[in-house]
Chains A and B, each alone.
Chain A
Amino acid sequence: EAQVTQNPRYLITVTGKKLTVTCSQNMNHEYMSWYRQDPGLGLRQIYYSMNVEVTDKGDVPEGYKVSRKEKRNFPLILESPSPNQTSLYFCASSLYRTHSPLHFGNGTRLTVT
């Protein structure tokens, strides 16, 4: 089944403790991105990647890192999480960079205390 898989689904952590949210897609998509969803703000892009070893900042990149060493994987790294990073996170992928449907994972709900 074609899908984007994120793990974990739920994560509770404390301020400053490094964490990684994994994302993997099995559709051989070139383009991958991370979004955060907050009430009243919709989905905002954190980082995106157009291909292996090619990543760039989205609209809200502060406090996050990503890497794209393999085409299928695009982990999101929070080196020192803070409470304002409490949010619902989505990984997404698409076949092409432009005008191509985004396929989203089922989300990771992160709480930072």
Chain B
Amino acid sequence: GENVEQHPSTLSVQEGDSAVIKCTYSDSASNYFPWYKQELGKGPQLIIDIRSNVGEKKDQRIAVTLNKTAKHFSLHITETQPEDSAVYFCAASTVDSSYKLIFGSGTRLLVRP
């Protein structure tokens, strides 16, 4: 089945710097890759997603890139702010009838003021 690996597990950056979180997946048939942000005491919230027919997608300060050949996708956050501090999860969808999202293990991002 699908397996998603996420790195790094923790990331500390200075406010204003960029942050990059990387994920790799195992099933070349996976075709949907969302990213979720989890703030303390809350459930994960979708921040951006990308489908396999697109190589890059941007939404203000966040962007996601997808390399289908290498089976990896990345989240890029530019001009980081303290409110970006959270746990980020990548995920990949299975393509069988269950529609499961397989999540990475999470990255704790700390933005230092």
Q: Which residues of A contact B43 (CB under 8 A)?
A: 4, 90, 92, 104-107
Chain A interface residue bracket vs B: 20 to 34
Q: Which residues of A contact B103 (CB under 8 A)?
A: 35, 42-44
Is there contact, CB below 8 Å, between A101 and B34?
yes
Residues of B that sit less than 8 Å from A by CB: 4, 6, 9, 32, 34, 36, 41-46, 49, 51, 89, 93, 98-101, 103-106
Is there contact, CB below 8 Å, between B42 and A107?
yes
Residues of A that sit less than 8 Å from B by CB: 4, 31, 35, 40-45, 48, 56, 58-59, 90, 92, 97-99, 101-102, 104-107
Complex CA gap A40/B6 in Å reads 10
Q: Which residues of A contact B36 (CB under 8 A)?
A: 102, 104
Q: Which residues of B contact A42 (CB under 8 A)?
A: 4, 6, 89, 103-106
